Amino acid sequence: MPRSVLVRRSVVKALTYRLVIMLLDFVTLYLFTRQVKVALGFMVVSNVYTTLAYFWHERMWARIRWGVSDEA
């Protein structure tokens, strides 16, 4: 019996991952620029498109059976 992954799981996984990445992006950019506005602006823009890319990547991998075992 094939294992399926709920879309909701992928959404939650993508969002929690993005929160961590957003924090890391902000801290790194702030350390380089010492400008809150620059760090926030880049963080927001970059995380919109990378969140969408991660979600679609996750959904593609949910369809690939390689490396997935249904054994208990």
Q: Tell me the pLDDT of the chain (72 aa) as tens digits.
A: 567 888 899 889 878 988 898 899 999 999 999 999 999 999 988 888 887 898 899 899 989 988 888 775
Sign of the torsion angle spanned by Cα atoms 9, 10, 13, 16: negative
d(CA 12, CA 26): 21
d(CA 55, CA 71): 27
* pTM: predicted TM-score of the whole model, two decimal places: 0.58
CA distances from 13 to 2, 20, 26, 34, 67 (A): 21, 11, 20, 31, 19
pLDDT at 27: 96
Residues 22 and 16: beta-carbon distance below 8 Å: no
